[in-house]
């Protein structure tokens, strides 16, 4: 039976940062995004409220700046190689992130079978963000279920990789999980834990246990 590997983005594939932080850095808005991130982590705002505020923050954002943020971000090493090995073994890999879809979907070019993020309008923005398209922790499980149907695998054949409390529900929904540079509360829920900057080594924890 094929397996489905589900990867978080912020803090997992990206080391010590998040896509909105990297995008905001291109606009010189480090202070503003830091304040917004603090409000979100403190649960003073929810995912849709965060999206509306970050959309306003990025009013002048261009596609070239998104590209620069993506290419300059501190990605873990070995992402493409790990996903190539997963594909060669007949398994599937997907990314599910609360970050904007226009950033997350670029990972399809690195070998992900699927990539889901919060739905934002195209850059440069000419439309408001629709809060109904913004993902939350529960949405990760719903998308995982949809991907299971699409790829013909069961929930029991899924592996989740994540780093924060937004991954708790997904970790609870699948039998195998890997905490990657993670919050200690998530480490306590995970099957495996990895600290480092090479995704191949995190994947090896799963492969070695098969």
What H or E segment, with its residue span, contains residue 97? Answer: strand 92-100
Query: How far is the C-alpha of 206 from the C-alpha of 210, rounded, in Å?
Result: 7
- Pairwise CA distance, residues 75 & 94, whole Å: 16
CB 124 within 8 A of CB 59: no
What separation in angstroms does the CA of 106 have from each of 38, 71, 98, 177, 182?
26, 10, 14, 24, 24
Q: Calculate the alpha carbon distances from 112 to 2, 6, 11, 129, 176 in Å.
A: 15, 10, 18, 26, 19
Gap between the Cα atoms of 5 and 159, Å rounded: 5
Q: What does the pLDDT read at residue 179?
A: 98
The per-residue DSSP string of 104-137 comes to: HGGGGGGT-SEEEEE--PPSSP-S---GGG---H
In contact, 107 and 121? CB cutoff 8 Å: no
- Look at residues 63, 67, 10 and name the one whose alpha carbon lies nearest to residue 40: 10
Residue in this structure with the two tokens 């398994």, named with its chain if needed: 91
The number of beta carbons lying within 10 Å of the beta carbon of residue 74 is: 11
Residues 6 or more apart from 190 whose CB is under 8 A from it? Answer: 171, 177, 178, 179, 182
Each residue's pLDDT, cut to its tens digit, for the chain (210 residues) gives: 899 999 999 999 999 999 999 999 999 999 999 999 999 989 999 999 999 999 999 999 999 999 999 999 999 999 999 999 999 999 999 999 999 999 999 999 999 999 999 999 999 999 999 999 999 999 999 999 999 999 999 999 999 999 999 999 999 999 999 999 999 999 999 999 999 999 999 999 999 887
Judge contact between 194 and 209, C-beta under 8 A: no
């Amino acid at each position: 039976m094929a397996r489905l590997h589900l990867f978080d983005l912020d803090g997992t594939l990206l080391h010590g940062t998040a896509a909105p932080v990297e995008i905001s850095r291109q606009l010189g808005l480090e202070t503003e995004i830091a304040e917004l991130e603090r409000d979100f982590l403190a649960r003073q705002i929810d995912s849709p409220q965060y999206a509306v505020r970050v959309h306003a923050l990025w009013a002048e954002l261009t596609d070239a700046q998104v590209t620069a943020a993506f290419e300059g971000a501190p990605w873990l090493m070995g992402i493409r190689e790990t996903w190539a090995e997963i594909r060669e073994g007949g398994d599937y890999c997907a990314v599910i992130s609360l970050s904007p879809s226009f950033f997350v979907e670029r990972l399809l070019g690195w070998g992900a079978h699927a990539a889901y993020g919060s739905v934002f309008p195209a850059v440069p923005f000419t439309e408001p963000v629709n809060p109904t398209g913004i993902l939350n922790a529960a949405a990760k499980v719903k998308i995982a279920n949809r991907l299971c149907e699409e790829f013909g695998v069961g929930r029991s054949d899924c592996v989740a990789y994540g780093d924060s409390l937004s991954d708790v529900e997904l970790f609870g929904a699948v039998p195998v999980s890997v905490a990657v540079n993670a919050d200690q509360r998530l480490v306590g829920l995970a099957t495996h834990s990895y600290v480092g900057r090479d995704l191949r080594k995190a994947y090896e924890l799963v492969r070695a246990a098969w």
